[in-house]
Amino acid sequence: MSDSRLSALPATDRPDVAARLRDALLGASFTADGLLELLGAPAYAALARSETVPALRATQGDTPLEALVRLFLLQQPVPHARVAGVLPVEACLESGWLVRVGGGLDGDLAATVDVRPYGGPGGEDWFIVSDLGCAVGGAGGIGSKAEGVVLGVGGASTTLAGITVRTPVASALDLGTGSGIQALHAAQHATRVTATDLNPRALHITALTLALSGAPAADLREGSLFEPLKNGETYDLIVSNPPFVISPGARLTYRDGGMGGDDLCRSIVQGAGDRLNEGGFAQFLANWQHVEGEDWQDRLRSWVPSGCDAWIVQREVQDVTQYAELWLRDAGDHRGDATEYQARYDAWLDEFEARKVKAVGFGWITLRKTSAAVPTITVEEWPHPVEQPLGDTVRAYFDRLDYLRARDDAALLADHFKLVPEVVQEQVGLPGAEDPEHVVLRQNRGMRRATKVDTVGAGFAGVCDGSLSAGRILDAIAQLVGEDAVLLRDRTPAQIRLLVEQGFLEPAR
């Protein structure tokens, strides 16, 4: 605690106090479920938009839970007498979780950090610690007043947590840990967790998040990107929700990476290849530039390190004006001086113009270390709704790549397949027409993909129940439609491969 940048934070060397505080929070139902029940869905959802008025209106009573919500989420002083009946006040004051405000031993108390209840994937009750003002809805206008501010849980955090592959592993790395949410998730299925961050305040807060959530401590290392790692140190899982915002400068540590354009995201992706064990996954959120005269998919393919399969999904694209406005508002710049806001907006557009950037993409990047002679790189756009969590879907996708690589067309036709549950068929055409214009297969789970198929593909998928080989099914279809069976066997494997790769069909084991 000697570092002045950490002086306003609770101590990390008092696990006994963190445990007592955790017990008290749970005893008062200060949990994700308890919060939803107390506030109601509208007020609970408003918190994610940085709107606290509905929650303030819903916590005007005198229950212990209302006192905790006001104290740890809404940054409101609470009378000592109310807090003393709920928390171990003296221990919390001594270790820095609380401070006295307004004077006097019996005056009001305030929290030194925000604490947000967070439900784990297995029903765990966790708590994410962050700087004051950052537990709900992002920085909420803190902006340049606190460049090193540590945010709490946001949409990006939960998205990355949801897409991460959650198989048991020996080692996991959380690169740019922030408030520690990814490290907390990783601690549930990794024997050893390492978390790095350039901001020492973030490492301190990660230690608090882990302790207050009852999770094992992580190996916390200060430094930029992979710099804190030892030579030859590798991992089974690497995750990162980096400061990926493409901005003119590095004004805000929590979002601006300090490198030009999308170089930060490119550096992370390219650097992960040498840090992965065979079969290991690296999963990131990222922004990337759409540059005039350049295919954005080719740009991303060039990022993928050798020896890695990759699945890159673009979820959203914004033009440069939308993008600049989004992040200026995120920092609260729109609430400040109008001249300064305009100058920052101009600086953003100048930066994009100089780089010939016409738009910015956002999405997910997953790498898997492979020994395949020719790794598979898939870059696609899928802006449609998906069903989280997607970790199992991501793992299954790469398993299917292995399956398809190991089989030529003859082996594929000899295999048996099943239509994945909850796939439906839609026929599109004019009313009264004898045949549909096209047939669409649609998933109702996972990525919720939809793909067009011809009548042979639709018929093939419809009868795949694992009882007949693919070749036998095609022979039967050929007889029904009066087509040459050999020709049908020749032209259909490509369509079968696509249906398997996209998860509509699975091998019958």
CATH number, domain containing residue 459? 3.90.930
Per-position b or e across 104-125, b if 16+ CB within 10 A of its CB: eeeebbbbbbbbbbbeeeeebb
* 247 and 394 assigned to the same domain: yes
- Confidence at residue 509, expressed as pLDDT on a 0 to 100 scale: 76
CATH of the domain at 298: 3.40.50.150
In terms of domains, do 474 and 364 share one? no
pLDDT of residue 144: 45
**Which three-class secondary structure state does DSSP give residue 424?**
strand
Q: What pLDDT is stored for residue 430 in this prediction? A: 83
- Identify the domain boundary among 354, 387, 403: 403
Place of tokens 């991992």: 235
The pLDDT of residue 408 is 97
Task: Report the run of H or E that residue 367 belongs to, with start and end.
Answer: strand 357-369
Of 430, 450, 449, whose CA–CA distance to 440 is shortest? Answer: 450
Q: Decide if 124 is inside a domain.
A: no
The verdict on 102 and 182 lying in the same domain is no
Asked if the structure places residue 48 within a domain, the reply is yes
One-letter amino acid at 85 equals G
CB 236 within 8 A of CB 269: no
Question: Of 58, 91, 112, which one is at a domain's C-terminal end?
Answer: 112
- Same domain as 289, residue 392: yes
- Tokens 């398993």 belong to 399
Question: Is 72 within a domain?
Answer: yes
Res 102: pLDDT = 77
Task: Provide the CA 345 distance to its chain's centre, in angstroms.
Answer: 28
245-246-247-250 Cα dihedral, nearest 10 degrees? 60
| Within-domain flag for 4 | no
pLDDT, position 332: 77
pLDDT of the residue at 259: 78
The Cα–Cα gap between 479 and 485 comes to 7
Instruction: Please report which residue ranges of 59-167 form alpha helices under DSSP H.
Output: 64-72, 80-84, 89-95, 155-163
Cα 383 from Cα 316, distance rounded (Å): 6
Query: What contacts 243, CB < 8 A, 6 or more positions away?
Result: 176, 252, 253, 254, 255, 256, 257, 258, 264
Which DSSP category does 256 fall into?
B
Residue 119 located in a structural domain? no
Give residue 147's pLDDT.
Answer: 63
Position 254 scores a pLDDT of 67
Please indicate, yes or no, whether residues 316 and 425 belong to a single structural domain of this protein.
Answer: no
Q: Looking at the domain assignment, is residue 6 inside a domain?
A: no
pLDDT, residue 484, reads 96
End position of a domain, from candidates 383, 403, 423:
403
For residues 352 and 299, state if they share a domain: yes
Residue span of the structural domain in which 422 resides: 407-507
357 shares a domain with 329: yes
In a domain, 319, yes or no: yes
Check whether residue 395 and residue 282 sit in a common domain.
yes
Contacts (Cβ under 8 Å, ≥6 apart) of 233: 275
Query: Does 224 lie in the same domain as 192?
Result: yes
| pLDDT for the residue 3 | 45
What is d(CA 390, CA 388) in angstroms, rounded to the nearest whole number?
Answer: 5
Residue 2 counted as domain residue: no
166 and 275 share one domain: yes
Residue 435 confidence (pLDDT): 77
Residue-level pLDDT, tens digit, the chain, 509 residues: 344 445 589 999 999 999 999 999 999 999 999 999 999 999 999 988 888 999 999 999 999 999 999 999 999 999 999 999 999 999 999 999 999 997 777 889 999 999 999 999 999 999 999 999 887 655 554 544 456 889 899 899 999 999 999 999 999 999 999 999 999 999 999 999 999 999 999 999 999 999 999 999 999 999 998 999 999 999 999 999 998 888 887 666 667 766 788 999 999 999 999 999 999 999 999 999 999 999 999 999 999 999 999 999 999 999 999 999 999 988 778 888 899 999 999 999 999 999 999 999 999 999 999 999 999 999 999 999 999 999 999 999 999 999 999 999 999 999 999 999 999 999 888 887 777 788 999 999 999 999 999 989 999 999 999 999 999 999 999 999 999 999 999 999 999 999 999 999 999 97
Do 238 and 280 lie in one domain? The reply is yes
Q: pLDDT value at position 271?
A: 97
- 442 and 339 belong to one structural domain: no
pTM: 0.94
Number of domains the chain contains: 3
Looking at residue 18, what is its pLDDT? 98
